[in-house]
Structure 1
Amino acid sequence: MAGTPDPPDGPMPGGLQPRLENAPHVIVTGLSGAGKSTVLRAFEDAGFEAVDNLPLALLPALFMVPDEHPVAVGVDTRTRAFAPELLLNRIAELSTARHPVRLLFLDCADDVLARRFGETRRPHPLSPDRPVADGIAREREALARLRERADLVLETSDMSPHDLRRIVLERVLGAVPAMLTVTICSFGYSRGLPRDADLVFDVRFLSNPHWDPDLRSMDGREPAVQSHVEADPAFAPAFARILDLLLLLLPGYRREGRAYLTIAFGCTGGRHRSVAFVERVGRALAAANWPNFVVHRDLAHP
């Protein structure tokens, strides 16, 4: 939200698949600091065209552009020529059978808003030189009519950005969970950790095929190397525990809105143990209905 703070948040990739057929256009309004930027980013990720603080006079031109994509527009007390009744009239005029216009209002407790402004050290837009409580009170009064007429009011005091994003998409779009994209990567510690790894497991505790002259020139995709690695007494219990952990964690990552997750397994050179382990993990996750991509980062290196 330009000029006002939202709840602290980071990138929020996909994780929800919206149904955009005949999706409504959405006007997002509410109290400064209640999460408008988070909501607009959620709509943008879902395929909407998101615009913040568009002057009310330009709303008809935006909504009437022939396009298959629905529009989400942020409007608040900072918007040029802002007037609640004028906005409500615009919504009534612009609604169509194909793309109705819905009003989403974001509310939040005064003490939470005051804390958010304090954390970001930004002034409230309606009280730049007065206590933040004065600006919150003035804005709440100015927006009372919009809150009363809103199609959906979300109270965001106790919501994390992830919660807010998920609830918006579920309740406004009827979005459904999308499959998390999982990448499983082997690597060699001699060349450093993968930069995009979210989870890293060290499999250097396993017997190293490098020291077997018959296996040294092969890699972990070869059945002989896999058999050597899996014959280590530590392999079976370690594999079972790591797989159980992944199957526990993956639904949570998807639930929290993650679209991509990279799980890395490392050995010394990235050619034998980690490759064999990754191949086995990839097959096991696929069998458990978690499609994944297998990447062997260091196979091309000697």
Structure 2
Amino acid sequence: MADDAAQSPQRVLLVTGMLGAGKSTALRELEDLGWESIDNFPIRLLDRLLTGETQDHPLAIGFDCRTRGFVPQDVMDQVRQLTDGDAVSLTTLFLDCAGNELERRFNETRRRHYLAQDLPVMSGISAERELLAPLRAWADVLIDTSEFSVNDLKQTIRDQFAQTAPRAMTVTVSSFGFARGKPPTADLVFDMRYLDNPHWVPGLRELTGLDAAVGEHIEKSAIFASSFAKMRALVLELLPHYAEQGKTYVNIAIGCTGGRHRSVYTAEKLARALREGGFSPTVLHRNLASRAAELVEGGQQS
């Protein structure tokens, strides 16, 4: 057994990409997943780092255009040499993001782009994108974080790079408002906007789907009982198959217009049904604390 362990290849993940695209967040999440993480590592020293005994933990190494000695073609050549044998199992992750979103992030944090110097932020972003183009095309895994929140990126990293050892599947049921954007990492999305909107019912606007009065209003709908039964049956049928395919996380998103009434009630009801079916879902309500607003809720028929 000791000989088998010694022959196991060192699992290495190189994490790179555009500045502001989420490298630090990805590395912190990988560390929480059991990876040993190193950021801003001089990539030219990679072969020295991996020389010697195989590490017990997988290794995540972050670098970007600020890293000393960073030349994309040299990085690719070095990785090819390291992976010629069986000692290293290496994957490259590239984090990308749209230019306008990167510009917004830099302006919001008031940080200067490394390649911009005294030029506008977008000049640095454009120069960096041109520099990294070969590395982006060559990377094994590409994640575009343009529409991601921090939590969305963390969830994606967990889905992609959690340890491969068997573990219980994590099921999340979340509510959200379409008017405030769809969750980008959902596996299943259900739209509850076919139901009457409690926002326009006197006495219910300031309440949420956690309040009994809102639930009673939704349950009165002639279509709700039959449609929910089909939703419940579909989810309970699919979850075991997701588990068979080795999926570690399943995210079920339920939306309505504002994310405060119909989606919240339905998410809670579905979570109870899943618990009865033997699962242990986590329930999240993304927009529950959002202010009730008519401009968000739209017309009375929305």
Q: Aligned residue for 1:30?
A: 17
Please point out which of 155, 158, 161 is paired with 1:169.
Answer: 158
Moved more, 157-166 or 33-42: 157-166
> Counterpart of 1:77 in structure 2: which amino acid?
C
* Aligned counterpart for 2:66 among listed residues 78, 81, 86: 78
| Contact persistence 2:33–2:163 (CA under 8 A) | no
- Counterpart amino acid of residue 31 in structure 1: M
Q: CA deviation at 1:81?
A: 0.6
Change (3 A) 1:169 1:287: closer
Matches within 5 A, 1:201-240: none
Task: Find 2:125's aligned residue among 119, 124, 136.
Answer: 136
* Matches of 1:113 and 1:23, distance apart in 2: 34
When normalised by structure 2's length, the TM-score is: 0.52
Structure 1 length as normaliser, TM-score? 0.52
1:63 equivalent in alignment to 2:71: no
Deviation of 1:47 (Å): 1.0
Change (3 A) 1:98 1:43: farther
Name the SS of the counterpart of 1:113 in structure 2.
Answer: helix
The correspondence for 1:108, drawn from 75, 97, 107, is: 97
1:42-96: CA deviation from partner (whole Å, max 9, x where unpaired): 1111111111111122211222342121111111100001100111112112225
Residue in structure 2 matched with residue 44 of structure 1 by the alignment: 31
Q: Residue type matched to 1:57 in 2?
A: R
In the alignment of these two chains, the number of paired residues is: 198
Structure 1 distance, partners of 2:97, 2:145, is: 5
User: Which residue is equivalent to 2:201?
Assistant: none
User: SS in structure 2 opposite 1:40?
Assistant: helix
The verdict on how the C-alpha distance between 1:141 and 1:148 changes in structure 2, with shifts beyond 3 A counting, is same
Picking from 157, 172, 178, the partner of 2:146 is 157
Question: Comparing both chains, which one has the higher relative contact order based on Cα–Cα distances under 8 Å and sequence gaps of 6 or more?
Answer: 1
Please tell me whether the aligned partners of residues 44 and 75 of structure 2 are also in contact (alpha carbons under 8 angstroms): no
Amino acid at match of 2:120: P
Query: What RMSD in Å do the two structures reach over aligned CA positions?
Result: 4.5
Deviations along 1:243-273, whole A, 9 cap, x unmatched? xxxxxxxxxxx959xxxxxxxxxxxxxxxxx
What residue identity is the alignment partner of 2:20? G
Structure 1, unaligned runs of 5 or more: 1-20, 181-253, 257-285, 292-302
Q: Residue deviations 1:225-255, cap 9 Å, x none?
A: xxxxxxxxxxxxxxxxxxxxxxxxxxxxx95
> Which has more radius of gyration?
1
Q: Deviations over 1:196-223 (max 9, x none)?
A: xxxxxxxxxxxxxxxxxxxxxxxxxxxx
Residue 93 to residue 128, structure 1, CA distance change in 2 (3 Å): same
In the other structure, the counterpart of 1:126 is 115
